[in-house]
Structure 1
């Protein structure tokens, strides 16, 4: 039995739009979706959906129909592979990424770390968040800015919630900036295990509690909150649905950093959070994606 990857070739903005379509169409099936840059010089990206084992015969057509609204002429390609860690393979050869004072890198690039860098070392794992995507990089830059400008500096920015933590990179970044407590949650237990490993590897275990939690139903939120900073790098639709819960778990005077949002979705997300009494402070724009800071 082989695993399969169904993908289209596009640019970075197109990959983001395709990711949203794929996520919306197949979220109930639990198939992983991802984007990755395959040719940096020419700006070529791929948007993919992964299926463990042999899919239904018409699955390729299902993917094509899902993408038609925005990609009427897209060719859906198939890659078949055996027992391969596709996430590890996708991360092979990725260069270190700088975002604000942070440098996100693999073990093979430790030589790229400079004296004053806040270096976060990640290895291939089954969770989103390496710093290479515009949303993660935008969040890292915004976290640095928001925590440094908090009353009392970074130490006054906690406790912090990283909602949809993935690899744990954003929780690690917050912990590196100051002596704050961080709750890092994800709906995927695999992601939680990856985040825990990365937290230990970067020596911030004393500050970060990694939990598997769906929505805001876990008691962990009440135990660790209310939060002076909530970071949510997810997708626009779930962010808008969770706006009331996010507001409810904020401490008075707290901040929210939101990403996973396409430029075209910015006003919808802002409207959802304005409706909860939050005001827009700043937007970072990165290659078709935005990161928002609200208070």
Structure 2
């Protein structure tokens, strides 16, 4: 079945959401619509639709004009078995003591590693991205220094791979929250695949705004692998939920964004422990002095 896409950009969240809603009335109708902020400080939002038939380009042009958006770029995606492609291209990843792999690479797990099975069909958060790998390596360094967190939260957990890694090395039941209910389902599936059902509490939550997350505070370790803007917005809440002498591992940051995020957390009393770069991405390890 062919897949067609139509993407445009325009300034502002409200106009972008209005355009996304208007796209629902197109014929043929899209089977999926996405509205996302472009994280480059431009103020632009991307609006996209996915179609099983060639979209009405005249209708798209009219919507773009009415909503002061750029002309839609329409493309046909190749008919690709994405799971097979990911299996071919995503080799296992070693991040400190952690070894992330798909079931097709189960025979490659080193004896001296902490294995985490993340299937190719659940590709976000597999560890191949510099941000996830950076967080795992920071966790590995904490554990190597003899630190053992008794309370752990993973905010914006994605696949919950970070929470799972903490539960593998410490006798702790982390709380993992994500705004996306699909991420919560994926997290539960990952736990089952790793024989870790019940080892992580997975919740649909925005930041710390959930009774179970609030009740679990203060946390001795908090992961937040999200984006620059949400990380800065999260700083006061994260600091409030972090235990004295606790640590936070932050990522989702381009290298040139790290100083701004570190400054936002410094205002909340968190101090730099280290910043590490993997390619274009930075991971921050911060601490809250007692």
C-alpha separation between the residues in 1 aligned to 2:49 and 2:122? 14
C-alpha separation between the residues in 2 aligned to 1:160 and 1:206? 15
Q: Is the 8 A contact 1:226 1:251 kept in 2?
A: yes
Q: 174-183 or 53-62, which moves further after superposition? A: 53-62
Alignment of 1:119-130 (within 5 A): 119-125=115-121, 128-130=124-126
C-alpha separation between the residues in 2 aligned to 1:198 and 1:166? 11
1:115 aligns with 2:111: yes
- Could you tell me which residue of structure 1 aligns to residue 211 of structure 2? 219
1:180 aligns with 2:149: no
- Could you tell me which residue of structure 2 aligns to residue 145 of structure 1? 141
Q: Is the 8 A contact 2:235 2:265 kept in 1?
A: yes
* RMSD, aligned α-carbons: 3.5
| Change over 3 Å in CA distance of 1:217–1:3 after alignment to 2 | farther
- Could you tell me which residue of structure 1 aligns to residue 150 of structure 2? 158
C-alpha separation between the residues in 2 aligned to 1:211 and 1:118? 25
Match of 1:199 among 180, 186, 191: 191
| Change over 3 Å in CA distance of 1:78–1:276 after alignment to 2 | same
TM-score (norm 1): 0.74
Match of 1:79 among 76, 82, 86: 76
By how many angstroms is 1:275 displaced?
A: 0.5
Question: Between Structure 1 and Structure 2, whose CA radius of gyration is higher?
Answer: 2
For structure 1, list consecutive stretches of 5 or more residues without a partner in the other structure: 8-20, 34-47, 67-75
- Could you tell me which residue of structure 1 aligns to residue 87 of structure 2? 92
- Could you tell me which residue of structure 2 aligns to residue 134 of structure 1? 130
By how many angstroms is 1:5 displaced?
A: 4.7
Match of 1:248 among 229, 240, 245: 240
Q: Aligned pair count?
A: 254
TM-score (norm 2): 0.76
- Could you tell me which residue of structure 1 aligns to residue 262 of structure 2? 270
| Change over 3 Å in CA distance of 1:273–1:89 after alignment to 2 | farther
1:290 aligns with 2:288: no
Q: Is the 8 A contact 2:4 2:74 kept in 1?
A: no
C-alpha separation between the residues in 1 aligned to 2:93 and 2:6? 27
C-alpha separation between the residues in 2 aligned to 1:226 and 1:26? 37
Q: Is the 8 A contact 1:166 1:191 kept in 2?
A: yes
C-alpha separation between the residues in 2 aligned to 1:81 and 1:192? 29
| Change over 3 Å in CA distance of 1:96–1:50 after alignment to 2 | farther
1:234 aligns with 2:226: yes
Q: 204-213 or 107-116, which moves further after superposition? A: 204-213
Q: 92-101 or 181-190, which moves further after superposition? A: 92-101
